[in-house]
A and B are shown apart, each in its own frame.
Chain A
Amino acid sequence: MRISIDAVGVLAPGLPDWETAKTVLAERSGYIAAPLEAPQPACLAAAERRRSSPTVRLAIAVVEQALQQTALAPPDMAMVFSSYEAAGLITHQLCEVLAGSREVSPTQFHNSVHNAPSGYYSIAMNARRAGSSVCRGEWSFAAGLLNAVVQVVAENAPVLYVCYDSPLPSPMCEVMPVLESTAIALVLTPAGGPSSLATWDVAIAPCKGAVAWQNWVPFLWYANASARGFAALELLANPGCRAAALPLSPELNLEVKRC
């Protein structure tokens, strides 16, 4: 399947934007850890910012970065959101309440759905096309990307793709050790878009052993499904890098090649 990349957004500790990420991925500078400032999406009104969860704010903020680089507007794009555990903090808060008073807050409950980030985004941006929210455990980056690429090709229309992980509180982080936020957004278009950064061939292929993490990726991010996406972004930043394998299941990889 051939598609083009129109725009990229990146948020992670030490990688506050795509420009910074590009220098690390191109090996022009080493990765330097630094705290990530709490994302504050501009499109959310103050009340929505307060009501939404940190995961919602992370996902929308990284999308806003990508939107600044493309002529496409949110209403022009279908949406695929993907996360290993989009509701972690909210689930923790809900389960604490449910183990005690059981007096759940209505806002907390509607924030607990996996598609809360896509819902808040769609409302804030008047994005009314199809929206999907994917989970595929540790393979969530590749599965969500595959869903988005299939939609671009099958419908011949642009798709916004975003994958994100945000930290879980104790005791959830002991069973699901996401400790830092990482998020990647991509604007995907049918191949050959006039303003595209690159064109990719994307295919499902048998997996031949575990896929290694890039050397610079901090060990702390190994539980973040979205951090697998940096291997794909390297194709956009590093001229020496022509192909990337993204784990899709125990048996399959998603192979991405630069055309």
Chain B
Amino acid sequence: MSTLAISAYTASSAAGVGKAAVARALHEGRSGLTPNDLDWAPLPCWIGHIRSLNGDQEVEIPQSLREFDCRNNRLALLALEQDGFVTAVGRARERFGSARVGVFIGTSTSGILSTEIAYQHRDAQSGRLPTDYRYETTHNLDATTEFVRKVLGLTGPAMTISTACSSSAKVFCLAERFIRLGLIDAAVVGGVDSLCHTTLYGFNSLQLVSPDVCRPFDIARRGLSIGEAAGFALLEKSSSSASLQLQGYGETSDAHHMSTPHPEGEGAQRAMLDALDRAGLTPKDIDYLNLHGTATLANDRAEGRAVHAVFGGTVACSSTKGFTGHTLGAAGITEAAIALLCMEHDFIPGCPTIQNVDPETHCNIVLKGRSEQVGRVMSNSFGFGGSNCALLFGKVA
């Protein structure tokens, strides 16, 4: 594969809006999760809620794009507006031309909340949806991709990847192939998923939502906490000035079960090995592994076994879902951004919600964040349908 430069990136979640706020939470070991106080989804659980999304004044969809107005696109815009990301993309657009910059976005539920609300307000007689309901520009999985493309003024190839919780990791792989073949010179990749009834009540129906805050890899874990998040990265052909790079990736399928991972993490192992292979690296070259670590028993046990099979028990690992919650289709980009922050800050984050590590976990789980040289990070993302993706990022001095 070709090494890609990451020339700009940004991320927003319950842990913080923008890179500096997320980095602060990681350094302070401060979880962004809170007891669920959503009056529209009163489930006894914890959530990763971006509160600034709730007021109209905080995020304003431009008048020309009003038809895209929904929680998911507001979240996308909030994230785009952080860290000078729009300006950085503008420079790439000037340099390469708008048709030479691709847009690849991952999501699991897009703006489905708009449809859920519309179904609460169907006409009692005809069953019709409200006249102001818009499917195409809010709920369709591509709605946020099209919105982002319009906000950034890009006309290159675009598409949405929706492979549940690996969605916004897989967009990095897609972008690498497009750039390697010379179809584009740069790509905006990212992921956006916002709180909605479908995922809260859906994961609850699978008995995977914890009544307690999520505690990945803790002996007392009881399931996941759902969060919302958005993030983006600008990828370009590697240049000598670039310091952060995408160096490898692996994508595999479990072929095991729709909603449970392979017990030995067989597909996860192949994804991690493929990422190392593409980068021409060995397990000992990795300084930190950001686990998928959802805090469901099945995920944590399978991933722990897979990591042990590939790395042994030494590589420093943590799941940052205790900071952000499980942000589903946005988990890939959220944790890719955390991987990049770790390299920029030479810092390994801990697990703010863990009390006692499950003794069955044969991995080196970092409980308390610490400063340390971090030159290479792997980030795991696994999804329903057995969709696995491992990304490998590196830093050059």
Residues of A bordering B, CB below 8 Å: 1, 79, 84-85, 91, 94-96, 98-99, 102-106, 109-116, 118-120, 122-123, 125-137, 140, 143-144, 146-147, 150-151, 153-155, 170-172, 174-176, 204, 206, 248-249, 251-252
Contacts and interface: CB of A to CB of B under 8 A. Distances in A.
A113 B160 contact: no
Contacts of A95: 115-116, 118-119, 198
A79 B253 contact: yes
A128 B157 contact: no
Interface stretch (B135-143, B236-244, B337-345): B135-143
Interface stretch (B8-16, B77-85, B255-263): B255-263
Interface residues of B, number: 63
Interface string B169-210: 010011001101101000000000000011001111110000
B386 A122 contact: yes
A5 to B, nearest CB: 19
B181 A154 contact: yes
A131 B163 contact: yes
A114 to B, nearest CB: 4
Contact of B177 (A104, A128, A150, A251): A150
A248 to B, nearest CB: 7
Interface of B: 99, 108, 112, 115-116, 118-120, 122, 127-129, 133-136, 140-143, 145-146, 155, 157-164, 170, 173-174, 177-178, 180-181, 183, 197-198, 201-206, 251-259, 267, 270, 383-387
Contact of B162 (A98, A123, A133): A133
Contacts, number: 191
A143 B149 CA distance: 15
B258 A110 contact: yes
23 contacts: A95-B116, A98-B201, A106-B202, A106-B206, A109-B202, A114-B163, A116-B258, A119-B385, A119-B386, A123-B256, A123-B257, A123-B386, A128-B252, A132-B161, A133-B161, A135-B140, A135-B141, A136-B145, A137-B136, A154-B180, A171-B129, A251-B99, A252-B99
A190 B271 CA distance: 23
Nearest to B196: A98
Contacts of B177: 150-151, 154-155
Contacts of B206: 106, 109-110
B205 A135 contact: no
A144 B387 CA distance: 17
A119 B384 contact: yes
A175 B129 contact: yes
A121 to B, nearest CB: 9
A151 B176 CA distance: 10
Contact of B135 (A116, A127, A176): A176
Contact of A120 (B160, B162, B205, B258): B258
Contact of A137 (B133, B146, B198): B146
Contacts of A249: 155, 157-158
Contacts of B162: 113-115, 133-135
Contacts of B203: 109
A135 B167 CA distance: 12
A41 to B, nearest CB: 15
Which of B197, B253, B270 gathers most chain A CB within 10 Å?
Answer: B253
Contact of B253 (A85, A129, A174): A129
A95 B120 CA distance: 8
Contacts of B146: 137
B141 A104 contact: no
A251 B154 CA distance: 10
A119 B162 CA distance: 12
Lowest 8 A-B CB distances belong to which pairs?
Answer: A119-B385, A109-B202, A130-B251, A114-B162, A135-B141, A95-B119, A154-B177, A175-B135
Contacts of A171: 122, 127-129
Contacts of B173: 130
A27 B173 CA distance: 41
A114 B141 contact: yes
A125 B386 CA distance: 13
A104 B202 contact: yes
A234 B342 CA distance: 52
A131 B387 contact: yes
B181 A115 contact: no
A102 B112 contact: no
A137 B134 CA distance: 14
B170 A174 contact: no
A113 B385 contact: yes
A170 B385 contact: no
Contacts of B267: 128
Contacts of B161: 132-134
B337 to A, nearest CB: 22
A94 B99 contact: no
Nearest to B170: A132
Contacts of A128: 252-255, 267, 270
A147 B270 CA distance: 22
B385 A252 contact: no
Contacts of A140: 142
A171 B121 CA distance: 12
A137 B147 CA distance: 12
Nearest to A168: B135
Contacts of A118: 163, 253, 385, 387
